[in-house]
Amino acid sequence: MSRSAPALMRYAVVGAALATALAACGEAGEATTTTPDAVTVPVAAPLVVEGPGRYEGEVVSGGQLRRFLLVVPQAAPRPAPLVIVFHGFMGNPTEVEEDTGMTGVAEDEGFAVVYPEGLGRPRRWRSDPRLGGLDVGFVRDLLALLDEALGIDPGRIYAAGMSNGGGMAARLACDASGLVAAVAGVAGAYFTGDCEPTRPVPVVAFHGDADPIVPYEGWGRLLPAVEGWAGEWAARNGCDSEPTLGAVATDVTTLRWAGCTEGADVILYTVAGGRHGWPGSERTGEYLGSTGSVDASHLIWEFFAAHPMP
Q: Is the pLDDT of residue 15 over 50?
A: no
In the chain, what is the straight-line distance between the N-terminal and C-terminal CA atoms, in Å? Answer: 47
pLDDT tens digits, one per residue of 165-190: 999 999 999 999 999 999 999 999 99
Please, which pLDDT band fits residue 222 given cuts at 50, 70 and 90? confident
> What CA–CA distance (Å, rounded) separates 280 from 265?
23
Average pLDDT, integer, range 74-93: 96
3-class SS of residue 282:
coil
Residue 298 to residues 208, 270, 278, Cα–Cα distance (Å): 18, 16, 12
Q: Parallel, antiparallel, or unpaired for β 244-249 and 203-208? A: unpaired
The DSSP code for 62 is: T
Longest dimension (CA), the chain: 63
Neighbours of 305 (CB within 10 A): 14
Number of residues in the chain: 310
> What CA–CA distance (Å, rounded) separates 309 from 136?
19
Span of 37-46, 139-148, 229-238 with lowest mean pLDDT: 37-46
pTM of this prediction exceeds 0.85: yes
> What CA–CA distance (Å, rounded) separates 69 from 265?
30
Q: Per CATH, the architecture of 5-30+48-305 is what? A: 3-Layer(aba) Sandwich (3.40)
Q: Is the pLDDT of residue 145 over 50?
A: yes
**Backbone conformation region of residue 14, classed left if phi is above 0, alpha if psi is from -120 to 50, else beta:** alpha
Average pLDDT, integer, range 109-133: 94
> What CA–CA distance (Å, rounded) separates 66 from 70?
13
3-class SS of residue 201:
coil
Cβ contact 139:86 at 8 Å: no
Select from 177, 171, 186 the least CA-distant residue to 132: 171
Q: 144 CB contacts (<8 Å, ≥6 apart)?
A: none
Q: Is the pLDDT of residue 123 over 80?
A: yes
pLDDT at 6: 54
Which residue type sits at 261? Answer: T
Cβ contact 21:35 at 8 Å: no
pLDDT at 202: 98
Residue 35 to residues 24, 30, 38, 39, Cα–Cα distance (Å): 17, 16, 5, 7
pLDDT tens digits, one per residue of 242-285: 999 999 999 999 999 999 999 999 999 999 999 999 999 988 76
